[in-house]
Chains A and B, each alone.
Chain A
């Protein structure tokens, strides 16, 4: 029997596959526990801490880091920066997988996941920002699916449908930016209902603005970061255009991110000034706040700036890691660290190992599917039938 692909020659027990396999196996077992024993059997959630890392990390960080999709497609198709075109498909793929995984993670966290359609189709609670988040995420996932589909359609050889869908690009991109603006900011606005529970340095009437602006540089940074990983492991899948444009993407996005991050720092200080919360900076919490803002926003912003000025690709990539960690830190601070700061330490929350395992499981599935798609479909290269 003839060998079909080159991969069959290599063993499937690569280190990546083995580790991913173990994580997935573990995840499946915990899934069964979750749906037979309830959240109490698997998480450290309690009546004082109803939301843990499945919301704080999987949902909040997942959505923020998937922002590369709308940012990249907007810069290419709305702002007309065609030199970023090769970065669009990888970014859209990441965003689509990211949001799909967010929905998957929600199926674990929410008590009755089969009722997730209820708020949209049965009984809309329009006073709730969570309704807004749910509606937008649902619509945006649809938009991303359609934006991603040309790659799959090209792979499947369905030319006519593919050409039809491609004509929708601009409308979908604009709709995507609208939806992203709404749900990125609304995730921040969720916490506005509980001023008595969130530490004043993180609570602000500007939470929606903070979340939206940080989603912009989170997306830019993720594109740079993933680009650097893809170059290392999926280089053989990249065509000439992609390779030629990639340095420009990294440096250009780094420069943009630097500027946006500084704007964010300004708005953050405005938030403190408007509520006259300066005195909190001199506390332990203040130190933590400054670490998050200075160490993980100001510093990477400067690194990006230096890298952009010197055209230093390596520095841009390191800065992107720092920036991504900064966004993750910010979301975790708001959802589980500075949340319930009033409570005595005995009543505070820390995730159980099973919660962490499920989060890891969700991310691993994302990486595995990403690898599957990029090694088969025209993501890093242009399909020969459609080159223009």
Chain B
């Protein structure tokens, strides 16, 4: 009858064994995150870039984007500062240093952050960081809320505002499909000056460091993207101050996810504690009302009882005084009657003494 202790312990053991069958990552609780091992990146050396825009052309071809009005060999577009657009995944911009006639050219595109703000912001998981290092977009899920565009500190994602029913968010894909096939990204392959180098991010950081070490006068001693926003797959080295070539230096090293982790963490606490707090306030308020009601009823009853008592005392007093009055009145009447009788007796005696013997003296 009933479960034996042995059986119970046996079940516990089986349950425990079952729990360990859960996927290994899901059982992890590590607090340090090193990124996908051997994920790829691109190193952009702006000292080598000549602004030929071949990378833009290759990107356009590989992604089958519409051919622009101004051809890619038209370098006059560099006179304007451009940003990515819905049909332009990468742009090369020109910057002129103050004390130099030599322009600096910088390629701009999605940096494929290690902890992408866009992926963190996307409420439908349409943007994801994958093993190759690319941050890719799934147009079959995207609702078009554009929060990813708000989130991206580099202002990269663009939107097809002129599409009525199937607008997409667009950005560089790091040529993820090509990488998976063992090919180079289109821009890297087409660059004639090796201003773009493809490799694992770890190797690229080392290459960049070595290059800076070897030519300290040619480079600013900083690899942009190594730590910015928690690190990006796209790394840039330059001979010019980064903020002067359109790359913000005030973004900090914290990941975008960490900015929203705080509020996100508060949500479940509100859900768990507010019901207790609010129901508690309700219960206290209700109890207060109930006690107030009871006190009121009690007070009313007390007042009625007191009033009754007072009334009784008054009534008794009245009864008393009424009885006294009655007695006094009776006494008065009796006194009067006696006085009347006495007077009458005195009067009749006088009469009988005054008249003689005509009247028979019946009294004798």
Contacts and interface: CB of A to CB of B under 8 A. Distances in A.
B264 A129 contact: yes
A47 B161 CA distance: 9
B285 interface: yes
Most buried by A among B146, B150, B158, B167: B150
B141 interface: yes
A314 B252 CA distance: 51
Contacts of A46: 161
Given A36-B164, A38-B163, A174-B279, A129 B146 contact: no
A197 B252 CA distance: 13
Interface in A235-250: none
B319 interface: no
Given A39-B161, A115-B143, A194-B153, A178 B270 contact: yes
A170 B149 CA distance: 41
A181 B270 contact: yes
Nearest to A174: B278
A80 B290 CA distance: 11
A112 B124 contact: no
A193 B254 CA distance: 11
A182 B167 contact: no
B161 A45 contact: yes
Contact of A47 (B83, B120, B262): B83
Contact of B143 (A48, A116, A194): A116
Contacts of B257: 127
A50 B146 contact: yes
Contact of B274 (A122, A131, A177): A177
A51 interface: yes
Contacts of A112: 142-144, 165-167
Contacts of A123: 124-126, 141
Contacts of B150: 50-51, 190-191, 193-194, 197
Interface residues of B, number: 62
A131 B260 CA distance: 12
Contacts of B247: none
Interface residues of A, number: 60
Given A38-B161, A123-B125, A193 B285 contact: no
B143 A38 contact: no
A38 B151 contact: no
B147 A132 contact: no
A373 B134 CA distance: 53
B288 A80 contact: yes
Contacts of B83: 47-48
Given A111-B143, A189-B263, A194-B151, A41 B162 contact: yes
Interface in A183-242: 185-186, 189-197, 205, 207-208
Interface in B79-133: 83-86, 117, 119-126
A191 B153 CA distance: 12
A157 interface: no
Nearest to A77: B282
Given A178-B274, A189-B263, A193-B120, A122 B164 contact: no
A124 interface: yes
A37 interface: yes
Contact of A129 (B119, B143, B251, B260): B260
Contact of A128 (B121, B146, B158, B281): B121
B160 interface: yes
Nearest to A81: B285
8 contacts: A38-B162, A47-B157, A74-B278, A78-B285, A79-B281, A112-B144, A119-B143, A194-B151
Given A50-B149, A80-B285, A123-B141, 13 more contacts: A36-B164, A38-B163, A79-B281, A79-B282, A80-B282, A115-B143, A122-B141, A125-B125, A178-B270, A178-B278, A182-B270, A186-B263, A197-B150
Interface of A: 34-41, 43, 45-48, 50-51, 74, 77-80, 109-113, 115-116, 118-119, 122-125, 127-132, 134, 170, 174, 177-178, 181-182, 185-186, 189-197, 205, 207-208
Interface of B: 83-86, 117, 119-126, 141-147, 149-151, 153, 155, 157-168, 248, 250-252, 256-257, 259-260, 262-264, 266-267, 270-271, 274-275, 278-279, 281-282, 285-286, 288-289
